[in-house]
């Protein structure tokens, strides 16, 4: 079931650099949302900016008292829409549609794997924290950013008992280099190369590299993709991505795809 709701803003705070967290009151969505799903938000009351903006659900649901009846979005203020979102004050309302999309498949993980590696590039931690909170995991999370100030949710993952490993491009924390290099190290040097399911969210080049790595090690990876969206509900066919079975809608058949299904082309984000 999808809902269109005028959700009240509880809190909207800066968490680091250009990263923000907004907490919205919307019981219907909070109750039914699955990790990996997203909401499509109208960030203004006018026609500018024109389209809604899609965001992964970062935390939701009644499992924890702090998210009861609420959903949280973790976002980066990168353009006109997200900058407007950053200005929303508690008490204001936002028109949101959700929960949308398919969500991560945890059962698959239980049947085919005994361990999970979560891989987040920058904002990619957003849906992965929800996932880690919802399901019992046996594994680790690799978080990659440009520099140490951009590392998000490290403590949250630690609290859940996950082994957290950091990679920064500039080496200011943890492994110096790409998070995908760190992933290769882990697969090379630990027992993680077998019966493991990768769950990944981040920029497309990172996800493409994860597809390559997962193929090489013959392990499965579920990845969260992004594409420009309009309706968010599967009607406009505007958000397709090329897969081995033809075009699929990121908003409907996705945003979570099996890494091996994707045909990586030059036109993806």
Ligand X SMILES: Cc1cc2nc3c(=O)[nH]c(=O)nc-3n(C[C@H](O)[C@H](O)[C@H](O)COP(=O)(O)OP(=O)(O)OC[C@H]3O[C@@H](n4cnc5c(N)ncnc54)[C@H](O)[C@@H]3O)c2cc1C
Q: By CB under 6 A, which span of 15-23, 45-53, 77-85, 237-245 interacts with ligand FES?
A: 237-245
According to DSSP, residue 230 is labeled: S
Q: Considering the rule CB under 6 A, would residue 239 count as an interface residue with ligand FES?
A: yes
Q: Which residue, 21 or 42, is less far from ligand FMN as judged by CB?
A: 42
CA distance linking residue 217 with residue 260, whole number of Å = 12
Nearest to residue 74, comparing CAs of 63, 60, 89? 60
Residue from 234, 238, 240, 264 touching ligand FMN (CB under 6 A): that is 238
Choose among ligand FES, ligand FMN, ligand X, none what residue 82 binds, the Cβ cut-off being 5 to 8 Å by kind.
Answer: ligand X
Q: Considering the rule CB under 6 A, would residue 236 count as an interface residue with ligand FES?
A: yes
Straight-line distance from the first to the last Cα atom of the chain, in angstroms, rounded to the nearest whole number: 28
Cross-strand partners of 6: 95
Cα separations in angstroms, 232 against 103, 136, 148, 201: 14, 30, 33, 19
Nearest to residue 5, comparing CAs of 72, 96, 85, 100? 96
Q: Considering the rule CB under 6 A, would residue 100 count as an interface residue with ligand FES?
A: no
Find the shortest distance in angstroms from Cβ 247 to ligand X: 16
Residue from 79, 90, 161, 171 touching ligand X (CB under 6 A): that is 79
Q: Which residue, 39 or 151, is less far from ligand FES as judged by CB?
A: 39
DSSP 89-120: -TT-EEEEEEEES----HHHHHHH-SEEEEEE
Residue 60: in which H helix or E strand, if any?
A: strand 59-60
Residue from 9, 16, 193, 230 touching other proteins (CB under 8 A): that is 230
The footprint of ligand X on residues 31-60 (CB under 6 A) is 38, 49, 51, 53-56
- The residue with tokens 């492994």 is 175
Q: Considering the rule CB under 6 A, would residue 234 count as an interface residue with ligand FMN?
A: no
Q: Considering the rule CB under 6 A, would residue 42 count as an interface residue with ligand FES?
A: no
Q: By CB under 6 A, which span of 9-17, 83-91, 232-240, 255-263 interacts with ligand FES?
A: 232-240
Cβ neighbours for 32, distance < 8 A, ≥ 6 positions apart:
1, 99
Residues at the interface with ligand FES (CB under 6 A) = 229-232, 234-239, 249, 251
Residues at the interface with ligand FMN (CB under 6 A) = 236, 238
Residues at the interface with other proteins (CB under 8 A) = 1-4, 42, 47-52, 95, 97, 227-242, 246-247, 252, 265, 267-269
């Amino acid at each position: 079931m999808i809902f269109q709701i005028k959700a009240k803003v509880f809190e909207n705070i800066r968490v680091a650099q250009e990263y923000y967290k907004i907490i919205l009151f919307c019981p219907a969505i909070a109750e039914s949302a699955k990790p990996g799903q997203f909401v499509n938000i109208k960030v203004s009351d006018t026609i500018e900016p024109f389209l809604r903006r899609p965001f992964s659900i970062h935390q939701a649901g009644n499992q924890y008292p702090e998210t009861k009846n609420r959903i949280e979005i973790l976002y980066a203020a990168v353009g006109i829409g997200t900058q407007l979102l950053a200005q929303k004050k508690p008490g204001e309302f936002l028109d949101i549609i959700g929960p949308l999309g398919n969500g991560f498949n945890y059962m698959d993980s239980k049947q085919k794997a005994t361990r999970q590696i979560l891989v987040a590039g920058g904002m990619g931690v957003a849906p992965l924290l929800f996932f880690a909170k919802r399901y019992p995991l046996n594994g680790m999370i690799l978080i990659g950013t440009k520099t140490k100030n951009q590392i998000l949710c490290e403590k949250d993952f630690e609290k859940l008992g996950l082994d957290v490993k950091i990679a920064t491009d500039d080496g200011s924390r943890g492994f110096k280099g790409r998070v995908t290099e760190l992933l290769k190290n882990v697969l090379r040097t630990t027992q993680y190369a077998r019966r493991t399911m990768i769950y990944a969210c981040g920029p497309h080049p990172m996800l493409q590299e994860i597809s390559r790595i997962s193929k090489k090690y013959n392990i499965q990876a579920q990845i969260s993709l992004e594409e420009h969206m309009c309706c968010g509900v599967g009607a406009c066919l505007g958000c397709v991505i090329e897969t081995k079975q033809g075009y699929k809608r990121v908003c409907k058949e996705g945003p979570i795809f099996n890494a091996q299904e994707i045909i990586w082309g030059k036109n993806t984000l």
